[in-house]
Amino acid sequence: MASTSHGTGMKAPYHLVEPSAWPIIGSFAVLVLTFGTIAYLHPSIFGTGLESMFKALGPWKILIGLGLVLFTMAGWWRDVVKEARTPGLHTPVVRLGLRYGMFLFIASEVMFFVAWFWAFFHYGLFPEHHPSGHWPPPDIHTFDPWGLPFLNTVILLTSGTTVTWAHHALIERNKQGLVWGLALTILLGLLFTGVQAYEYGHAPYKFSDGVFPGVFFMATGFHGAHVIIGTIFLIVCFFRALNDHFTPERHFGFEAAAWYWHFVDVVWLFLFFAIYIWGASPVTH
């Protein structure tokens, strides 16, 4: 919800967003989720008095925070969709600002992944900095890049073509093509997540087995989290498309989702070539 006028009643080409509780609720939800995750993985750091209690709670420590995050996403998206559907709020200047905002957000995400790539390249380019003097370390058997990683690469690149098909169908006023393109992209995103979960379940090393496993799971795991978020983003767009919320002239909600999905595609290509191919050990799993 927003306002497009000053106190004098004069219209402006921008709008002032009304106060919202979702930022503070979302921050609290992330805090609870982070605390629950730490308590689930390392309950001993809270002392013997609380360790037994946290262990007894099991996965509920994480599920409570996750539920609050999903609640925040649902409520915030509801308000954003309502704002987008209110006539007169998203003027050309506002839409331009939204594009700048999404671009800067993706740029910040790029720098986020640069940190993981730099951690990997630090040892890959200077293996003498690792205690073993080799990279990957001799005791690490990496995944065969032409197995599950290559399959996931094909899946994600295919999803990039289907979301582009959906965008083209929207421009051409082809609702059926838009809906089918989004549906296929969502299914491919879910398939990618399933394959990666299967890969993690059969990994020849654990997160705590050294620098290489740590960087591997952090980089690919955060990318997997972005795939899940992007899939949810596309699911919202799917239902909005069913309800005719998008037109060829006004569809930034879908456009932002497509930008985000292509960003996820590009990051995976770098991960595939750097970590899976360049970082492969002589003996693969």
CATH number at residue 71: 1.10.287.70
**Residue with the larger pLDDT of the pair 156 and 94:** 156
CATH number at residue 210: 1.20.120.80
- Shared domain for 18 and 135, answered yes or no, is no
Strand, coil or helix: what is 175?
helix
- Shared domain for 53 and 161, answered yes or no, is no
CA distances from 258 to 106, 153, 158, 166, 211 (A): 12, 18, 13, 9, 34
- Shared domain for 138 and 175, answered yes or no, is yes
**DSSP symbol at 273:** I
- Shared domain for 253 and 120, answered yes or no, is yes
Domain total of the chain? 2
- At 6, the pLDDT band (50, 70, 90 cuts) reads very low
Give the best-scoring range by mean pLDDT among 5-19, 26-40, 166-180: 166-180
- Shared domain for 130 and 77, answered yes or no, is no
CA distances from 21 to 18, 33, 192 (A): 10, 18, 34
Residues spanned by the domain of 267 = 90-285
- Shared domain for 151 and 200, answered yes or no, is yes
Answer whether 0.95 is exceeded by the pTM.
Answer: no
> What average pLDDT score do residues 92-101 get?
88
Residue 104 has pLDDT above 90, yes or no: yes
> Residue 189: which of 220, 147, 153, 159 has the closest Cα?
159
- Shared domain for 205 and 281, answered yes or no, is yes
- At 133, the pLDDT band (50, 70, 90 cuts) reads confident
- Shared domain for 45 and 172, answered yes or no, is no
Do 106 and 259 touch, CB atoms closer than 8 A? yes
- Shared domain for 234 and 123, answered yes or no, is yes
Last residue of a domain, one of 89, 109, 135: 89
Last residue of a domain, one of 89, 108, 125: 89
- At 11, the pLDDT band (50, 70, 90 cuts) reads low
- Shared domain for 83 and 160, answered yes or no, is no
